[in-house]
Amino acid sequence: MKFTTTLRVRYSETDQMGVVYHGNYFAWFEVGRVELLRSLGFSYQELEAQDDCILPVVEASCRYRRPARYDDLLTLATSVKALRGSIVVFTYKLYVGEVLLAEGETKHVVVDGALQQRRLPERHHAAILAILE
């Protein structure tokens, strides 16, 4: 399953090369996974606040194929590549129209507030397994 969300490039996200600063794509990927969770009926905010689950990023990567530019209306396709124990891997494809701009991946470990590894709550775990690529 592919989930998509749209993003408008902000002026603050550009740099003097006239394109989006490469580090800013990771904030977009975060929007993608939060909205993917929301589409499944879950709030990442509640996951942190009520379920004592945080998902720090342990690996992140991005391949930049063509630059995103100011005011571009982007389509971000987010999917879950893997869910094993307390490890979740998300992948991202960023488009403007049909043109692929970038591909990314983030690996997360699910931990509690004391930073001990744990699994996602069962309802989240099951819902994510159901949409695995």
Q: Which H or E element spans position 33?
A: helix 25-39
The label of the residue with tokens 């571009």 reads 72
Does residue 93 touch a second copy according to CB under 8 A?
Answer: no
The answer to whether residue 15 is catalytic is yes
Does residue 50 touch a second copy according to CB under 8 A?
Answer: no
Does residue 6 touch a second copy according to CB under 8 A?
Answer: no
Between 13 and 83, CB nearer to a second copy:
13
Does residue 15 touch a second copy according to CB under 8 A?
Answer: yes
Q: How many CB atoms lie within 10 A of CB 94?
A: 27
Which of 18, 98, 114, 122 touches a second copy by CB under 8 A?
18
For the record, the structure tokens of 61 come out as 């990567």
Region near a second copy per CB under 8 A, out of 5-13, 75-83, 91-99, 125-133: 5-13
Does residue 54 touch a second copy according to CB under 8 A?
Answer: yes
Output phi, psi for 47, to 5 deg. -55, -45
Region near a second copy per CB under 8 A, out of 65-73, 76-84, 86-94, 118-126: 65-73
Does residue 26 touch a second copy according to CB under 8 A?
Answer: yes
* Rounded alpha-carbon distances, angstroms, from residue 133 to 2, 57, 78, 79: 8, 20, 11, 7
Does residue 114 touch a second copy according to CB under 8 A?
Answer: no
CA distance 104 to 94: 8
